[in-house]
Amino acid sequence: HRSLRAAAVRVLLGNWTGNATVPSRSLYPHQWSWDSAFIAIGLRHLSPRRAQRELESLLSAQWADGRVPHIVFNPAVPCGAYFPSPDFWRSSTAGRPAGAPSTPETSGIVQPPVHALAAWLVHRADPAESGRRRFLARLHPGLDAWHRYLTAHRDLGGRGLAAIVHPWEPGLDNSPAWDTALRRVPPAPAGSFRRADLDHSAASDRPTDLDYARYVRLAADYRDAGYDDARARFAFAVEDPGFNALLIASEYALADIAEAIGADPAPARARAVRRTAALTDRLWDEERGIFTARDLHDDRLIPVRGVAGLLPLMVPGLPRRITDALLRTAAGDHFRLGEVHMVPSYDLTGPEFDPSRYWRGPSWFNTAWLIHRGLLACGAVAEADRLREGILRDAGATGFAEYVDPHNGAGRGIRDFSWTAGLALDLLC
């Protein structure tokens, strides 16, 4: 494992820009929100100081309403290098009703709130250094505002869960879970935009042109409503179990952070408890033995098994019968934990399964890392150890691929992907 460690460090150093880490020099040349959280979790073993900077630079682009944008753009990168670029999002020119910063330029949608968890883990790596720099005290107000934004502005169903309004928000862009809801979205005209992702990655590993045309339409509609959650009319609004599970885990981390700095941990803890009850109430699919997403358009569960439905394994305080059912589902035919490479992003037996195409089947390192944490929390130590070994093997064998084919472990997407390196480093330490 010593050479794996050195290789992971090389990737993280190579992707560091001086202020933050790009997920990839080619495909993702800016700062991404949930990527930065996972990257910081790895960086803390290399340089706690740098891990702190990673999170601080992300939060310095936070909007006045508390949202943490999913991309923070690097002005030094040419506009054509990534689509959609700042001229599409217009965060600093769209009237800024939600208070986007005038600089840097950002997107206007969000990604899963895993930042408080990351901040707590970064602190724990070197509490003395963290204390000297007052890291937690400086980050706490921003993290608290972020969680409050999701609680106050994104509970579109009014039942205590945060809704996502774009398939990029849960991070699982083209999951088959979104197919039905997306069919209602009129695609933006072909030719009205140019994808940059296909310059760097095989088309068969990426979302389709039709997916992109719908992503563009949804983002443009939100932008044209000033990114104002009260004013926007959302063609896509979904309660996702992965997004909410990460928010709950982060609320508990925020409570720990509050306690460490002498602030009141009770509000974050109370939000976590309430949201856990809502998660079980709204998204537990008893028949399938997994959490599924709820489409707010018709208020029905979407009958699709995806890896996001297993992420509540890391939520403290779920009834044992639910965690037991989740463990059975993970080990069963749909995910075959321990038999295939890591954890497939989508049901191995599902009609849409594709072993190569982004979130429609491939196994990803961040979801595997989260499930590893969940397995440990549930006391499934042998399963967790086996998954850890699998993550490290796949990371090393593929040169830190973005994702892998769950059947044969072949790397897919790009290589030298930062969170793959960061999370492998975390599991090695």
The residue ranges that bind ligand DGY (CB under 6 A) are 70, 168, 173, 197
Distances (CA, A) of 106 to 37, 94, 119, 226, 245: 17, 12, 21, 14, 25
Which CB sits closer to ligand DGY, 70 or 341? 70
For ligand DGY, the closer CB: 195 or 274: 195
**Cα–Cα distance between 282 and 291 in angstroms, integer?**
9
Tell me the H-state helices in 134-201: 135-153, 179-182
CB 360, min distance to ligand DGY, A: 13
The region, left, alpha or beta by phi > 0 then psi within -120 to 50, assigned to residue 317 is left
Q: Which is nearer to ligand DGY, 221 or 256 (CB)?
A: 221
Q: How far is the CB of 381 from ligand DGY (least distance, A)?
A: 33
* Catalytic-role residue among 173, 205, 285, 416: 173
- Number of residue whose CB is nearest ligand DGY: 168
Find out whether 144 and 254 touch, Cβ atoms under 8 Å. yes
Our answer to whether residue 239 is catalytic in this structure is no
DSSP string, 98-136: T---SSS-B-SS-----HHHHHHHHHHH-HHHHHHTTHH
Least distance (Å) between residue 106 CB and ligand DGY: 12
139 touches 96 (CB < 8 A): no
Provide the minimum distance between the beta carbon of 245 and ligand DGY in the complex, in angstroms, as a whole number. Answer: 19
Give min distance, CB of 6 to ligand DGY, in A. Answer: 29
Residues 6 or more apart in contact with residue 139 via CB below 8 angstroms: 55, 56, 59, 119, 257
Nearer to ligand DGY by Cβ, of 160 and 361: the residue is 361
Beta strands across the sheet bearing 363-364: 363-364, 403-404, 411-412
Alpha carbon distance 385, 365 (integer Å): 15
Choosing from 54, 144, 205, 402, the catalytic residue is 402
Query: Each residue of 152-173: b (16+ CB within 10 Å) or e?
Result: ebbbbbeebbbbbbbbbbbbbb
Instruction: For residues 189 and 81, give the distance between their C-alpha atoms in angstroms, rounded to a whole number.
Output: 21
CB of 377 to ligand DGY, least distance (A): 28
Please state the closest distance from residue 100 (CB atom) to ligand DGY, in A: 17
CA distances from 318 to 170, 277, 280, 324, 378 (A): 22, 8, 8, 10, 10
Tell me, yes or no, if 402 is annotated catalytic. yes
Q: Torsions phi, psi of 254, nearest 5?
A: -65, -35
The dihedrals phi and psi of 75, each to the nearest 5 degrees, come to: -60, -20
242: Cα separation from own chain's centroid: 8
In this complex, which beta carbon is closest to ligand DGY, that of residue 4 or of residue 72? 72
Active-site residues, by number, are 173, 402
